[in-house]
Amino acid sequence: MPVTLSYPGVYIEEIPSGVRTITGVATSITAFIGRALMGPIDSDPDGPLVINSYGDFERAFGALDANYPMGYAVRDFYLNGGAQAVIVRLYESDGVSLANAAIAIPNLPLVAASAGKWGNNLRARIDINVAPFSPDLVDVAASLGPTLTPADLFNLTVCEMVSGTQETFLNLTVKESPRRVDRVLAASSNFVRVASTLTLPATTVPAASGDAPAGKTVWDQDASSTGVVTAGQASDGAKLLDSNYLGNSDAKTGMYALLKVDLFNLLCIPPDTRAGNTSVAVNVAAMAFCVDRRALLIVDAPEDWATANGITNNNAGLTELGLFGVPARNAAVFFPRVIESDPARQGQLDTFVPCGIVAGVMARTDTQRGVWKAPAGLDASLNGVQGLATVLTDAENGMLNPIGVNCLRNFPLSGPVVWGSRTLRGSDLLADDYKYIPVRRLALYIEESLFRGTQWVVFEPNDNPLWAQIRLNVGAFMQNLFRQGAFQGKTPTDAYFVKCDSETTTQNDIDLGIVNIVVGFAPLKPAEFVVIQLQQMAGQIQT
């Protein structure tokens, strides 16, 4: 009621409805971990980077390069329907070369924004205005600060000479101002940063030299000029070690750089080299990390998996993956690798890992049908694929499917498709509740959505009114999934239940500050085996 009832009359009070809508989280944000040509590395404040298209990836991390398989996986993700991705770029210094190329401009030393030889292709141009100054420039200087003059301002143009991409920044200054050069470049440039050797604010503007149009002087310099940076000073680094992937959870490096992002649902770790494998240690750590983050690890089949017999012989293939136990519910392996054309090698065909393609198929299926639909079947086509490294027969597929190996198959007219949807707990012998990928992903989706959607419950009075609100809001979320066809059953009672009352939360729980919510659901399971029974109808015999 109102705080004070002081005068005779009518008082209006708004009463909360108790409805707190639970919104479902995204289901196919895919994280990629590996090397790239350029871009922020895992230990940078700017990393990891969230992208929404392959164009975003190219702008931040460079074009396709045969030395960096992660770029191909990201390309395949977007070719097959992917939407949002998170990129973690790893970098292993070779111990000799400088990580970032330098551009030595007097009074304004610049360095490449990220490690790699790409920085040797940068060229910077400084335009400095000289007196007499135009009235417009005087007004601009005055608007940036009372102590600034037109002589304090300069323009910076940076060009990446291979691609021809150019950035231009106007009216910069080394003095304290909204246009202080280090802040502007840190916020807006993909190419350069002010070197740490320069302390800002400063009083001396960049030096001018060289030919210039009337009214301006220019400093024009590139990163590969003799005496500025010699070839090899900026390096692409060495091949990655397991330690680069494993990183440190406290420092949020390696795969744990993903702790900096709010959410990811799928994790892809392509091998560091095209013909290599992701190590067992990395996959095991990644699987455990996916359990903590309610995500699914997409595991690429090792390069030496060539035949169904080789994989199933004493289960040697699955044993070498090292992915066992209950956490294997959050991992799935796909075999074989795929054959695609390589734009970086004039369209030559080569073999690539399928993790990016599979993640894209999952994203496409989620959009078209929902996370509860198996990302497999004739509709789960592999776009951009020219062929498969191993062609499987039905019998060979029948050897792999029962042990939880998901096959990629090629069918007439349909082309290459995903033809399996089991987790690494999908072996028939294990009889696991989360045998199927769509069942596991639906459970992870519900868990994450309810985890985020019930935060308001914390510190609320723990009694019947709260329990009723919880049943109302969680029940509304589950009912919405039921209406979309996510569960088995003809009625909500058959499909799901939500319990939160004195049976689930005892007086002892209340005294301990605990409220228990029990949510059950009847998942849809994919129809893996279609059996058609055919019988002749005997003619009617008159008697």
HEC string for 297-325:
EEEECCCCCCCHHHHHHHHHHHHHHCCCC
With 90 as the cut, is the pLDDT of residue 232 above it?
Answer: no
Question: Given 189, 222, 255, which residue is the final one in a domain?
Answer: 222
Q: Cα angle vertex 139, ends 135, 140, to 5°?
A: 115
Nearest Cα to Cα of residue 327 among 278, 300, 290, 301: 290
Indicate whether 350 belongs to any domain. yes
pLDDT at 223: 57
**pLDDT tens digits along 319-367:** 889 999 999 999 999 999 999 999 999 999 999 999 999 999 999 999 9
Indicate whether 12 belongs to any domain. no
pLDDT at 134: 82
Question: Given 165, 188, 222, which residue is the final one in a domain?
Answer: 222
Region 107-129: what's the mean pLDDT?
87
Is the same domain home to 192 and 258? Answer: no
Region 414-437: what's the mean pLDDT?
95
**pLDDT tens digits along 167-212:** 999 999 999 999 999 999 999 998 999 998 999 999 888 865 444 4
CATH number for the domain harbouring residue 305: 3.40.50.11780
Nearest Cα to Cα of residue 358 among 280, 268, 229, 285: 268
Helix (H, G, I), strand (E, B) or coil at 28: coil
Nearest Cα to Cα of residue 391 among 377, 370, 412: 412
Indicate whether 156 belongs to any domain. yes
**H or E element, residue 184:** helix 181-188
Region 40-69: what's the mean pLDDT?
91
pLDDT at 22: 94
- The residues, any chain, with a CB within 8 Å of residue 507's CB and separated by 6 or more, are none
Between 461 and 213, residue with greater pLDDT? 461
CA distance 237 to 502: 61
Helix (H, G, I), strand (E, B) or coil at 541: coil
- Answer yes or no: are the C-beta atoms of 124 and 221 closer than 8 Å: yes
Count: domains in the chain = 3
pLDDT at 114: 86
- The residues, any chain, with a CB within 8 Å of residue 231's CB and separated by 6 or more, are 120, 224
Strand partners, 167: 158
**pLDDT tens digits along 3-28:** 788 899 998 888 888 889 999 999 99
CA distance 155 to 130: 12
Is the same domain home to 255 and 206? Answer: no
Between 218 and 343, residue with greater pLDDT? 343
Burial 483-507 (b: 16+ CB within 10 A, else e): eeebbeeeeeeebbebbbeeeebee
With 90 as the cut, is the pLDDT of residue 539 above it?
Answer: no
Indicate whether 173 belongs to any domain. yes
Region 401-424: what's the mean pLDDT?
95
Is the same domain home to 111 and 82? Answer: no
Indicate whether 13 belongs to any domain. no
Strand partners, 156: 126, 169
Region 56-61: what's the mean pLDDT?
92
pLDDT at 220: 59
Is the same domain home to 409 and 500? Answer: no
Average pLDDT score, the chain: 90
In percent, the amount of the chain with pLDDT more than 70 equals 93
pLDDT at 234: 67
CA distance 159 to 222: 9
Sign of the Cα torsion 94, 245, 280, 54 reads negative
Lowest-confidence segment of 207-221, 237-251, 433-447 by average pLDDT: 207-221
pLDDT at 221: 59
What is the DSSP-derived secondary structure letter of residue 519? E
Is the same domain home to 210 and 298? Answer: no
Is the same domain home to 218 and 252? Answer: no
Is the same domain home to 291 and 392? Answer: yes
With 80 as the cut, is the pLDDT of residue 69 above it?
Answer: yes
Is the same domain home to 290 and 395? Answer: yes
CA distance 260 to 50: 11
Residue 475: both structure tokens together: 């029940």
With 80 as the cut, is the pLDDT of residue 230 above it?
Answer: no
Phi and psi dihedrals of 409, rounded to 5? -125, 160
**pLDDT tens digits along 384-412:** 999 999 999 999 999 999 999 999 999 99
Strand partners, 33: 88
Q: State which residues form the domain around 345.
A: 30-92+239-439
Is the same domain home to 206 and 273? Answer: no
Lowest-confidence segment of 99-108, 295-304, 368-377 by average pLDDT: 99-108
Question: Given 188, 222, 256, which residue is the final one in a domain?
Answer: 222
Kindly give the pairing relationship between strand 122-129 and strand 216-222. antiparallel
DSSP string, 69-126: HHHHHHHHHHHTT---EEEEE--B--SSSBSS-EE--TT--EEESSSSGGGGGEEEEE
Report pTM.
0.90
List Cα–Cα distances, 449 to 20, 28, 314, 379, 481, in angstroms. 13, 14, 40, 28, 12
Indicate whether 269 belongs to any domain. yes
Is the same domain home to 205 and 286? Answer: no
- Answer yes or no: are the C-beta atoms of 223 and 120 closer than 8 Å: yes
Long-range contacts of the stretch 348-353 (C-beta < 8 A, 24+)? 349/386, 349/387, 350/274, 351/274, 351/275, 351/389, 352/69, 352/72, 352/73, 352/76, 352/274, 353/69, 353/73, 353/270, 353/271, 353/300, 353/301
- Answer yes or no: are the C-beta atoms of 296 and 290 closer than 8 Å: yes
In percent, the amount of the chain with pLDDT more than 90 equals 70
Residue 149: both structure tokens together: 């003059």
Indicate whether 520 belongs to any domain. yes
CA distance 209 to 229: 19
Is the same domain home to 375 and 464? Answer: no
Indicate whether 18 belongs to any domain. no
Is the same domain home to 299 and 180? Answer: no
Between 497 and 105, residue with greater pLDDT? 497
